[in-house]
Amino acid sequence: MKKEETKAFRDNWIRFVYNLQDEICTALEAEDGGAQFKTDNWERAKGRGGGGVSRIMENGAVFEKAGVNVSVVYGRLTDKMKKVLNIGLSSGEGSWFACGISLVLHTQNPFVPAVHANWRYFELHDEAGNVIDRWFGGGADLTPYYLFEEDVVHFHTMFKDAIDPFGTELYPLYKKQCDEYFSNTHRDNEMRGLGGVFYDHLKVSNEEEATRLFAFQEANGNAFLKAYLPIVQRRKNMPHTTENKTWQEIRRGRYVEFNLLHDRGTIFGIKTKGRTESILMSLPPTVKFVYDYHPEPGSEEDKLLQACKHPKEWV
């Protein structure tokens, strides 16, 4: 691909993620009905290229903390970067570019699930600036605190519907990958939530594939509000107790454990000296770590825990 064609493709992707950020933030503000997003435009520190826009909403009626971030960053391929990406280019060779949108929503009501999603694009270049590799990755996953099966079925169905036109074999694969990835392996593979879809390194091998994968990412990004907002609308006004809130905060502890110990995006951002505030916006505002806590067998809390321990097919 010629450099000017690569730039046009890259610019189209950047335009898409910024438009998606605007659309999602507008919808979330309307759903919350009170709080608004604060916009934080940032640039990487001197010597590292690019920047982004972090949009954060806190202490809303529905969303206790919501972050919707876009980053457009680039730089030299250092030895540390190559190790993180698991690539074998020789020392000092080439550069990289990455652009994506990432969101995490933590809710006030413990009957409304938390949710995470991201869609990203990555390029590697040789010394002359020619693209030598490029790929897409992303996904979305739901983290309930209480099990409402119809909510989980709806979330999975919306992403299955978005993915099926690109191959009916893809949703089962990406659903399985999501179950395996968002798992606290240090807790006997207990999932942090009830899954969704996850895919990584979808390689762009030619221009036809570039067009197809761009459309695939668009379909997934555009499915997010349809997948999540109906669940929020069903659950946000349900009455809840102090005990329900305590369980929410205990489960948030599992969320924190996964993000700090296992999440590739968090590890990548920290190891490549990314912007700490934007990376750690994924963490919930309040959390409890209770020693050796086990919910009462057969309780509503235990039903959620058993679902996290034993993944199932939702659609």
Residue type, 113: P
Q: Which residues pair with 6 in a beta bridge?
A: none
CA angle 47, 51, 56 (to 5 degrees): 140
Find out whether 90 and 69 touch, Cβ atoms under 8 Å.
no
CA gap 132, 130 in Å, rounded:
6
Active-site residue flag, 116: yes
Q: Which residues pair with 202 in a beta bridge?
A: 136
CA gap 225, 24 in Å, rounded:
7
CA gap 15, 17 in Å, rounded:
6
First-to-last C-alpha distance (Å) of the chain: 39
Pick the catalytic residue: 116, 125, 154, 156? Answer: 116
CA gap 63, 32 in Å, rounded:
7
Helices (H), 123-169: 149-163
Is residue 284 classed as helix, strand or coil in its secondary structure?
A: coil
Q: Going by C-beta distance under 8 Å and a sequence separation of 6 or more, which residues neighbour residue 21?
A: 53, 55, 68, 69, 70, 101
What 8-state DSSP symbol labels residue 297?
Answer: T
CA gap 308, 315 in Å, rounded:
16
CA gap 259, 261 in Å, rounded:
6
CA gap 272, 249 in Å, rounded:
30
Which residues does the annotation mark as catalytic? 116
